Amino acid sequence: MVAGDVDLDGITIVQDIPTSTYLIDLNGGTIKDLAGNDLTPLTFTPPNTSNVKVNYPSLSMDFIADADGRYTLNGTAYNDLTAFLTAAGGSYTRPSAGTYFDSTGTLQTAASGIPRFDYDPTTLVARGILIEEQRTNSIRNSTMSGAAVGTLPTGWGTFINQGGGSIGISVVGTGVENGLNYVDIRTNGTTGTSTYIYIIPSNANHITAAVADNWNFSGYITRSAGSATGVASTSLTIYELNSSSGYTAAGTYSVSISASSLASQRKTALRTLTAAATAYVWPYIIVTFSNNTAIDVTYRIAGLQMEKGSAPTSYIPTTSAAVTRSADTLTIPTASWYNNSAGTAYLSAVKPVSRGVSSRFYSLYPSGSGEVSVINHSSAGSQIVLNVADSTGASVVGTSITGLNVGSIFKSAFAFNLNDFAASTNGGSITTDTSGSFPTMTTLRIGDSTTSNRSINSTIEKFRYYPSRVGDAQLQLLTQ
């Protein structure tokens, strides 16, 4: 067969009742044999499907199918989440705006109540629906408001320790890259000994804090001009200050700076506060230089964020005051699609940064209270754990997997019937249990839990529910 031998456009299969055969209508197209002759008539014999069981999900949510996902409910397809949730009686809420990266790697802002379908800004691969807890960016001007050539953003400052050298620091440009408002800060000259600079995006007493708090400082930082020659280190630093703005403790966290695209270079630092007298935290960027060296380097800085929490969340733009992004909540009642006697649930999602708590990828809830089926990210952050409990609340079956890198995809599924439970993750061995019954479920919750502080702060790719207990071999295949 060579190019041009097959020209198919809208083929259909039509049953010819008198002859009990199935004819293939090529809709004006042709199929030729090796001699160049048209093949006609074309017939089709349906395969024998007796004893073949095909499992279709009664609920399917594919958050990476296209720009806003594809969904099915009891065989009916929906091309957007809003229409699907209306049909299912579910809801999605977030009472504030929120940011995400689109398919071009550009930062976008979703209005209040609009779900965010996130993409990797480097690979441009779809990551699914973004579900996050409530967070506040305490840096008051992260959008570089007021910045111009020769002028720092409003509320920002710099400091130079010359150490016997002679270097300068200045704003040499502003603009937007990948949807991120940036400022270009150049430092150049000749260093002495112990020469360093501070880039300070916040006043010392703007961000209140207390001992044992977790604080995350993050930002997008690249080298936009010049070279790294003479640069000894670049670090994100978190100072702890007392009520008089005096030093109590600090943490300095080295980051690697390259000339890559801005959106691909988010740097983060986590500090658990240690000083009992701490009343404020003060974030800044510090750059140290080699001794007695000519230097000329320009840093492009965008999206600085200081948030209380053990891992960074999506960027929250600010202009003159701290801004809070509300939590995402996605819930679906089970009445129309869930089989209380037997079923199978499947999930694929992105492994997040550890939060120090056992956060939820999804939870199923019975009437009353308590989670029964959950996939969670362990508090240590090293495991993805699937745990299923029976109607008494006792754990009956589960699996876990370790060694996954942050940002990697995992797949997990469990199946249940009376006294018949099974689970598998990433194609791993099936774990089973032969004792227990499943309670009547009322609610599916995606990406978090009714328990506070359990949002996954990551993306969900797919969730499917089959209203039957699939076989163990098929269960394992689902997760490969």
How would you class 23 by CB atoms within 10 Å of its CB: exposed for 0-12, middle for 13-18, buried for 19 or more? middle
| Rounded CA separation 236/253 (Å) | 5
Type of residue found at 149: V
pTM for the full model? 0.85
Give the DSSP H or E segment for 473.
Answer: helix 472-478
* 420-425 vs 294-308, strand pairing mode: unpaired
Report the pLDDT value the prediction gives residue 185, as an integer from 0 to 100. 99
DSSP per-residue codes, 237-298: EEEEE-TTS-EEEEEEEEE---SS-GGG-EEEEEEE---TT--EEEEEEEEEE-TT-EEEEE
Contact 69, 81 (CB under 8 A): yes
The DSSP symbol for 51 reads T
CB burial of 42-59 (b: ≥16 within 10 Å; e: otherwise) equals eeeeeeeeeeeeeeebbb
- Strands 43-44, 21-25: pairing is antiparallel
* Cβ atoms 465, 90 nearer than 8 A: no
Quick one: pLDDT at residue 8? 46
The CA–CA distances, whole Å, from 25 to 7, 9, 156, 367 equal: 12, 10, 70, 53
- What is the model's pLDDT at position 327? 95
Res 84: pLDDT: 97
Q: Map out the domains of the chain as residue ranges.
A: 59-132+328-478, 137-325
Cα torsion angle, 35, 37, 38, 40, sign = negative
Q: Where are the beta strands (DSSP E) in 290-358?
A: 294-308, 323-325, 329-333, 343-350
How deeply is 106 buried, as exposed, middle or buried, from its count of CB atoms within 10 A (0-12, 13-18, 19+)? middle
State residue 2's pLDDT score: 41
Residues comprising the chain, all counted = 480
Q: Give CA–CA dist 303/107, Å, rounded.
A: 10
Q: How far apart are CA 148 and CA 175, in angstroms?
A: 9
- Measured in degrees and rounded to the nearest 5, phi and psi for residue 472 equal -60, -40
d(CA 210, CA 465): 44
Beta strands 214-226 and 180-190: pairing type? unpaired
- 137-325 and 59-132+328-478 share a CATH fold: yes
pLDDT of 418 reads 86
> Which helix (H) or strand (E) segment is 384 a member of?
strand 383-389
CATH of 137-325, one of 3.30.460.80, 1.10.1760.20, 3.90.230.10, 2.60.120.260: 2.60.120.260
Per DSSP, what are the bridge partners of residue 60? 72, 464
Q: Which two tokens stand for residue 414?
A: 């469990």
Nearest-CA neighbor of 181 among 262, 266, 268? Answer: 262
3-state secondary structure of 375: strand
CA distance 69 to 337: 19
DSSP 46: -
Closest by alpha carbon to 455, among 326, 272, 268, 365? 326
Other beta carbons within 10 angstroms of residue 162's beta carbon come to: 16
What are the CA-CA distances from residue 70 to residues 84, 117, 333, 386, 466 (Å)? 9, 12, 19, 25, 17
Residue 216 vs residues 9, 138, 454: alpha-carbon distances, Å: 55, 11, 17
Are the beta carbons of 298 and 278 closer than 8 angstroms?
Answer: no
Task: At 37, list the tokens.
Answer: 């002759």
Torsion of CA 93, 99, 103, 105, to 10 degrees: -170
Give the C-alpha separation, 307 to 305, whole Å. Answer: 6
For each of the chain's 480 residues, which pLDDT tens digit applies?
Answer: 444 444 444 566 667 667 767 677 666 666 777 777 877 777 667 666 665 555 689 999 999 998 889 999 998 999 999 999 999 999 999 999 999 999 999 999 999 999 999 999 999 999 999 999 999 999 999 999 999 999 999 999 999 999 999 999 999 999 999 999 999 999 999 999 999 999 999 999 999 999 999 999 999 999 999 999 999 999 999 999 999 999 999 999 999 999 999 999 999 999 999 999 999 999 999 999 999 999 999 999 999 999 999 889 999 999 999 999 999 999 999 999 999 889 999 999 988 887 777 778 888 888 766 666 666 655 555 667 777 776 666 777 667 777 777 888 889 888 888 888 888 888 888 888 888 777 788 899 999 877 777 788 899 999 999 999 999 998 898 888
Q: How far apart are CA 72 and CA 76, in angstroms?
A: 5
Please give the CATH number for the structural domain made up of 59-132+328-478. Answer: 2.60.120.200
